[in-house]
Structure 1
Amino acid sequence: MDTILISLFICILLLFTLRFFGRRISKAPQKLPPGPYPLPIIGNVHKLGKLPHKSLNALAQVYGPIMRLNLGRVTTIVISSSSAAQEVLQKQDLAFSNRPVPDALRGCDHDKYSVTFLSVGSQWRSLRKIMSSSILTANKLDASKHIRSRKVHELIGYCKECSQSGEAVDIGRAVFLTLLNLLSNTIFSKDMIDLYQNSGEGKNFRELVWNLMVEGGKPNLVDYFPILKWIDPQGIKRRFTGSCEKLLELFDGLIIERLELKRSENSSENSTTDILDELLTILQTNEIDKTQIQHLFVDLFAAGTDTTSGTVEWAMAEILKNPDAILLKAKAELNEVVGKGKIVKEEDISRLPYLQCIVKETARLHPPAPFLIPRQVQEEVHLCGYIIPKNSQVLVNAWTIGRDPLIWKNPLSFQPERFLNSEVDVNGHHYELIPFGAGRRKCPGLPLAVRMVPVLLGSLINCFDWKLEGGIAPKELDMEDKFGITVAKLHPLRAVPTLVLPN
């Protein structure tokens, strides 16, 4: 009898144990993403190197498309496949919608007003709505088309002068300055710089915008070790703040000047309908305040210049490296559709499929922001069988995705033809090609960029023949890059133009 009772007790205990641990097992947390073993204190910071996009690409080949690193005190998840990117940017977009704020951008409280770094909420939605419905709509862009056309003509005029003197053109710099003036005319109806001068107020404005991007793109120890933020050991935030303060002061002066003009007796004669006018009209409805307008201008100039000029420079470099194939084919198409030696217009773009393919191929191999803009999860999130810990930073490695051999044949070769008869585009719906991101935090400047890059690139190709400075052979052109807020050419592309006479 005792034996039966003992056996029964053991069976009940075993059943209870199995049910208890079975329940525990079913509720056990899923595993964290794999990644390299972190060192004490620094974690995996040493793994980044000088070219983090390439370092993380190499690590992804070892640890897979969803990888975890400890960058100092920051848990970082790196996404390196199009399917995982779609999960982050589309299917679970809301969970991954917030941004970690680099310490530099806390200068002048820019993070509290920037549409790029604000958390998703009422203020972000209001600013995003203003950008998408009052500034960057198709109708608004069509209305300002004459400004962009004038600035392209000025760029070609500058290159023509260089052609006459035999001087080489720094392609990236010339396009960057053109875009600064394009934006300043679109926003303020005035040039802020002179393409032909390298002094005065224009130089100061150019350097302020450039300094913001340089400091904002530098690797900052404070971002890995927040305890250092009170020290700012590299001085990055201090320098960013100095440039930002001067820009905000400049913008404030332009706003006050326009408000006084509107109050003057001749205000009715003022036919200006630029972005500043649009925003001052919205200002009266209290949907936006003057401080938000100033910081919005910082975002527009910072985001709308370096990314586009870098794309044009990379495209020109790839074309000049392949003059007997890609350049000849591009020139033939432009000659047939636009006419030899003529400037490309925006309405021509839809009839230039090969030029569009060159732009897409450039975006694939040289996405301006290789990790897009980093995301952050506010709560623990499940992703493809892994747990993404609360407060993790999430990087989508668009650079790696654009070179994935499972998606792209001969991924390291520049082959625009791969996009002929292909529906893949840069609009954020095809996750194998996402230079502008996707989802609710897709780059709002996309509509302007897809107009400007083909026009600038096509006009430079069609109006001039180009030879690399110093007699460098095309195949010897250095294509090394450097990492910052964008991935730029390590050595700027310099080429001597020869004017092509129109038919």
Structure 2
Amino acid sequence: MEFESVSLFLLIPLLLLLFVILQVKRKSSSSHGDLPPSPPGLPLVGNLHQIGPFIHKSLAALSNRHGPLILLRLGCVPTLVVSSPDAARDVLRTHDHICASRPATTATRILLDGCNDVAFAPYGDEWKQRRRICTLHLLSSKMVQSYALVREQEVAAMVAAICSRGSEAEIDMSAVLFAFSNDILCRVVTGKKFEERKWLFSELISENSMLLAKIYIGDYLPWLGWVDWLLGNVARVKKSLKRWDDLLNQVIQEHAEQVSSDDEKDFVDVLISLQKDPVMESILTPEIIKALLQDMFAAGTETSYITLEWAMAELVRNPIKMQKLQDQVRSVAGGGGKMVKEEELCQMPYLKAVIKETFRMHPPVPLLLPRELLEDCPVQGYNILKKTRLFVNAWAMGRDPKYWEAPLEFQPERFIDGEVEFTGNDPRFIPFGAGRRICPGLNFAIASLELALANLVHRFDWGLPAGLSREEFGMEEVAGLLVRREGRLHVVAKTWDG
């Protein structure tokens, strides 16, 4: 206790000196041009004290009070928060080349070998090379189409698993949906399911979401970085890295020891083959390969699983919407226990509208991923300085009554004309981002989501557990980089045979 008191006493003069320096720097930076509105902050910490565990909601509340474009001081990090489509178009389209980089944080530096992945890597030639590899060999439209049989088999396995519980059984759909999403991803990345490792994946993926969203004091107040060590935050990230390393080393070793024909090669096989090329050796080090695989497993599994969970929850809470979707799917696919085929999905506009409405209300990554300006940039008439961090609040824009009628109501009909797509061209609706940092797994995710949801509503009638009313059916969120529904999704499934 005495040591802590002495340490704090010695720190006070240093902190006051640093505060003065920061204030001078802030005034100096203002001379570069007009800056957006800034909510009043506290000495040293700036606006950090105004950020709660649900960061997207905290930023939305500040934007509601101070405007759709605000500049925060998160410790010593200037942070631009964008909550309007016009400003989003500026940073994600018009000036995308300036706003395309990522900031390095404590978690990304440790978990991803110095940000040597695709999602969190700084913008540059190395990032372009890694993204090209992932797109060409895993996520291109051609590759996504080649996985059609895998999707059909895994959807059939999910339906069979639900049927095995018996008609009108209460089911933990969170477990079912995670298993489905993880099995598809494991098969296309590694060539097989990992039954014995499935729940280890679940733990690591959930831990990633929490660790990557966590605020580390050293990221915003570098001179207090020791606090993260004292609180055990750094040790926790390193422990998670060790668990990922052990798991991915096993996966890579298993592939290195087996011989696969060209037709049988999966993504891990391709990465190992590419690594043997002298030109690619420095581009695909063992650490970089593991960072890429971590990206694929974490992002590919969790975004699909979370979106399906939200979609099912919204439909169960809105039986009229559920019935409308079922009527359309069943009229196209017919009855008799048939499976909905991918070629039939194009005849189901309401299905596509339901998925879009789910993304509008519940974007899996509500702030997208943070960006960082590579140079000074004009945004909405303001001059935003180089190295400013950037958050685009897709969650807030999706719920803004200026752009959406009755934004808090689940109304898939608003998307029925098909004019608004996922491609990032409409800045009101950007669940996958936009510009050159748009999520490369977009096509992969949508293909799985549409086929899975179509078959779930086709084969089963869904309801709330006995004694639970619509009002009691919780729709609260769990904080993290990816925001999922709080609690397990327990629903009742009754087999429909037409």
TM range (shorter): 0.7 to 0.9
Q: Does 1:326 align with 2:326?
A: no
1:121 aligns with 2:124: yes
Whole-angstrom distance in 1 between the partners of 2:74 and 2:423: 31
Identity across the alignment (%): 35
How many angstroms apart in 2 are the aligned matches of 1:100 and 1:135? 26
Shift of 1:498: 1.3
- Cα–Cα, structure 1 residues 202 and 328, in superposed 2: closer, same or farther, change >3 Å? closer
Q: Deviations over 1:374-401 (max 9, x none)?
A: 1111333221111213321110000111
For 1:482-497, what aligned pairs fall within 5 Å after superposition?
482-497=478-493
Determine whether 1:95 maps to 2:98: yes
Letter in structure 2 aligned against 1:115: V
Aligned to 2:432: 436
Show the counterpart of 1:282.
274
* Partner residue in 2 for 1:178: 180
- Alpha carbons of structure 1 residues 228 and 345: separation in structure 2 relative to 1, 3 Å: farther
User: Which of residues 156, 168, 171 in structure 2 aligns to 1:169?
Assistant: 171
| 1:224 equivalent in structure 2 | 220
Give CA-to-partner distance per residue, 1:337-373, whole Å, 9 cap, x none.
1123433332222111000000011111111111100
Is structure 2 residue 301 aligned with structure 1 residue 305? yes
CA RMSD of superposed structures (Å): 2.1
Shift of 1:58: 2.2
* Residue aligned with 1:162, SS: coil
- Amino acid of the residue matched to residue 485 of structure 1? L
Instruction: Show the counterpart of 2:249.
Output: 252
- TM-score (norm. length: structure 2): 0.88
Question: For 1:81 and 1:470, how far apart are their aligned partners in 2?
Answer: 42
8 Å CA contact 1:331–1:462 kept in 2: the answer is yes
Residue 245 of structure 1 and its aligned partner are, at CA, apart by: 2.2
- Counterpart of 1:342, as a letter, is K
Once the 2 structures are TM-superposed, how far is the Cα of residue 172 of structure 1 from its aligned partner? 2.8
Aligned position for 2:21: none
Between the aligned partners of 2:476 and 2:254, the Cα distance in structure 1 is 45
The reply to whether residue 203 of structure 1 matches residue 205 of structure 2 is no
User: Structure 1 unaligned runs (5+)?
Assistant: 1-26, 194-199
Cα separation, partners in 2 of 1:479 and 1:383, compared to 1, 3 Å: same
Q: 1:314 aligns with which of 298, 306, 310?
A: 310
The equivalences for 1:292-371 within 5 A come to 292-323=288-319, 325-340=320-335, 341-371=337-367
Deviations for 1:62-107, whole angstroms, at most 9, x for unmatched residues? Answer: 2111101112222111000111101000100011111112311221
- 1:231 Cα deviation from its structure 2 partner: 4.2
Amino acid paired to 1:239: R
Mapped partners of 1:189, 1:424: distance in 2: 35
Q: Deviations over 1:245-289 (max 9, x none)?
A: 222232223223322223xxxx66x85221122223322333333
Moved more, 67-76 or 167-176: 167-176
* Aligned position for 2:3: none
Distance 1:237 1:345 in 2: 47
CA distance in 1, matches of 2:327, 2:151: 25
Separation in 2, partners of 1:205, 1:361: 29
SS of residue paired to 2:265: coil
Partner Cα separation in structure 1 for residue 238 and residue 169 of structure 2: 37
Amino acid at match of 1:254: V
| Residue of structure 1 aligned with 2:189, choices 187, 190, 196 | 187
Q: Secondary structure at the match of 1:379?
A: coil
Asked if the contact 1:186/1:275 (under 8 Å) is kept, the reply is: yes
Q: Matches of 1:92 and 1:239 in 2, distance apart?
A: 37
CA contact (8 A) 1:162 1:496 kept: no
Please point out which of 133, 137, 147 is paired with 2:140.
137
Q: 1:284 to 1:332 in 2, by over 3 A?
A: same
Structure 2: distance between partners of 1:189 and 1:43: 49
CA distance in 2, matches of 1:437, 1:167: 38
SS in 2 for 1:356: helix
1:72 aligns with 2:69: no
Deviations 1:430-456 (A, max 9, x none): 111000000000111101011111112
Higher alpha-carbon Rg: 1
Q: Deviations over 1:17-71 (max 9, x none)?
A: xxxxxxxxxx964311102101112211222223222222222122111101112
Q: 2:236 aligns with which of 234, 239, 257?
A: 239
> Structure 1 residue 210: deviation in Å?
2.7
Alpha-carbon deviation of 1:310?
1.0
Kept in 2, the 8 Å contact 1:104–1:236? The answer is no
5+ residue gaps, structure 2, are 1-29
Counterpart in 2 of 1:400? 396
Distance 1:167 1:243, change over 3 A: farther
Is the 1:33–1:67 Cα contact (8 Å) retained in structure 2? yes
